[in-house]
Structure formats: C-alpha cells, structure tokens
Amino acid sequence: MSEDKQDLIKHARAVAGQVLTFMAENKVPAIPQNYLIFYLYFDSQSGWMKEIVEREIAIGRTWTEESTQRVFNHIFSAEANLKRHRLNKKVATNLQEVTQGILNQASASASLVHETSQKLSTSLAEITGSTGSVREMAGWLMTILSEIRRVEEVSRGLGQDMQGKREELQDIMEALAEVEVLAMTDELTQVANRRAWEARLTEEFGRFKRYKTSCGVIMLDLDDFKQLNDTYGHIVGDLVLKEVAKIMTTALRTVDFPARYGGEEFGALLPETDLEGAVIVADRMRSWLAGSNFTVKGEAIPVTASLGVAVFGPEDRNGHQAVDRADQALYRAKDQGKNRVVSQAEA
C-alpha cells in the first residue's frame, strides 16, 4: 500500500472517531445522513460545512430528524446538481465545437491569403522584369483576376459561415444564462436558493453600509412540518412548500427578495424597510398562510408558520448577524405557541 493511501486511511479513521464520539455525546441519531454531515463537518478539508452545521448547533436544541433534513437540504440537491452538470457539459461541448470550427475556418482563410499573396508577388516580380508584351500582360492580368475572384468567393463563404457561428454563439450565451439561473433557483419552489440568498445578503449588506438605508430580514419556518409530511406524505409537503413560496412572492414587492433557505425554512430581504415595516409584511405572510385552504381528499390541512424579523444594525459585521437575530426571534415565536411573528426587539 502506498504512503499516500495509508495517510488517507489514517485521516479518514481519525475523522470517523471524532464523528462517532460527537454523535454519541450529543445524542445525534445514528443514521447515514448524520454521519455524512458530521464527517464533512470534522474533515479539515471541508470548511464550507462548518458555518451551516454550527448555525444549527448554535440554536441550542437537541439534534433531531428535522435538523438533519434542514442541513441536508441546505447542501444537497441531487436533481438540481445533476441537471446543472448535464447542461454545463452540453454548453462546454457546444462552445468547444464552435471555437474549433472558427479556428479551422480562420486557418483555411489564412492559408488562402498566404497562397494568393505568393502568387501575386511572383506575378509582380515577373511584370517588373518583363519587356511588357500584350500577351504577357494579359496572362498576368488573368492570373491576378483569378486570384481575386478566388479570395472573394472564399470571403463570401467565410462571411456566411461566421454568421452561422455568431448565431450558434448566441445560443450558447442563452444556455449559459440558463445555467446561471438554474444554479441560483430552488428546484422545487422556483424561488431563489441558498446560494442566491447568500449573494444577495452580501449585496444588500454592502448597500446598507454604504448608504445607511435600512433593510429588513424575515425568516419563516413552517410549524410541525415533519408531522405534516409523516401524516400526508412528501408529495403534499412539497405542494405546501410551493404554496408558501407563492404566498411570500405575492406579499412582497418586486424589489424584495424571497428565497428558500433550506428544508421548510424561507427567508426574505426587504431593502429600505425598517423593523416596523418588516413586521407588517411578515404578519401579512403569516395571516395569508394560516388562511389558505389546503385540502387532501376533502380533508382540510392546517398550515401555519412562525416568523422572526430583524434589520441590519450599525454594529453588524455582516448580514449573517441580522439573519441570526431573525432566527432567534423565529424560535421565540415557536416557543410562544407558533403561528406568530416575533421581532428582534422582542426576542
């Protein structure tokens, strides 16, 4: 066995030991999903996992199946990743083919120009050193005209081919735009995903620091969503998540930014909105959701959500601190009986 392979196995065993010890001490359910989550968490090469897991741990609750689902949904979306991979591969292949075609045509054109240049230079040298009989002049003129026609024909063909390539490149640009939209959109609800949320959060916080304009942060978490899934099935659960996204989008302005934060948790950023205004919007979402008519085979399904509201603060180092305050307010809403809105001022 090679030394590199031995080091890899030694590293894996060390990480596994940390994972098993942590899971036992913190009563984390021993299921494969949790082992994978905490293996990535303790693996020093997977620093990107730490913030996601530590945010869940910081809440201070016992790690449950809901915790697993929430974290898992934050970092994995097999269907979306597969679709993005296939589309990226298709775009890359198309771009490679078009680029090679342009290079081939440019090379052929360059060869033609070089060949024509050589012939015309030879003719010019012959004309310069000649006595200039009419027959010779006519022959040279025919040669020059023939070369000019040949260049013109190839140039016309090349122009037509280049137009075709331009159209192909435009198609590729549109496909690239589709890849970008797909990468920033939640597959199920069609609102922005966690990746897009992080980008917009950074953007809005930068604007807040620059212009000192308020920005509201709303975090929404469905009440008893696991129970709903267990009772009615994941298909119904998915329909509820889609409806939540629609209600949020309807309740917000076009300048606001709704996103699926992960699992049954959603977030919204409200530029130029103070705490009081953000609370009003959050309560509108809560009210519309509680009043929605979800039915399965004639049976009404009660769906409610708890919401936490915060705003960016002058002491904040980044937008995540406001998100944390909104999260804490959300969990206070859960503790107070669910189906309610709590602001950072009350948490």
CB atoms within 10 A of CB 278: 27
Residues in the chain: 347
Helix (H, G, I), strand (E, B), or coil: what is residue 166?
Answer: helix
Distance, in Å, from the CA atom of 338 to the CA atom of 308, rounded to the nearest integer, reads 11
Structure tokens at 215: 């920005």
Are the C-beta atoms of residues 215 and 204 closer than 8 Å to each other?
A: yes
Structure tokens at 3: 């030394």
CB atoms within 10 A of CB 62: 10
Vertex 347: Cα angle to 210 and 52 (nearest 5): 65
Residue labelled with tokens 């360059």: 110
Are the C-beta atoms of residues 280 and 252 closer than 8 Å to each other?
A: no
Q: In terms of C-beta density within 10 A (0-12 exposed, 13-18 middle, 19 or more buried), how is residue 325 classed?
A: buried
CB atoms within 10 A of CB 343: 23
Quote the distance between the C-alpha of residue 108 and its chain's center.
Answer: 41
Distance, in Å, from the CA atom of 14 to the CA atom of 8, rounded to the nearest integer, reads 10
Question: Catalytic residue numbers?
Answer: 264
Longest dimension (CA), the chain: 109
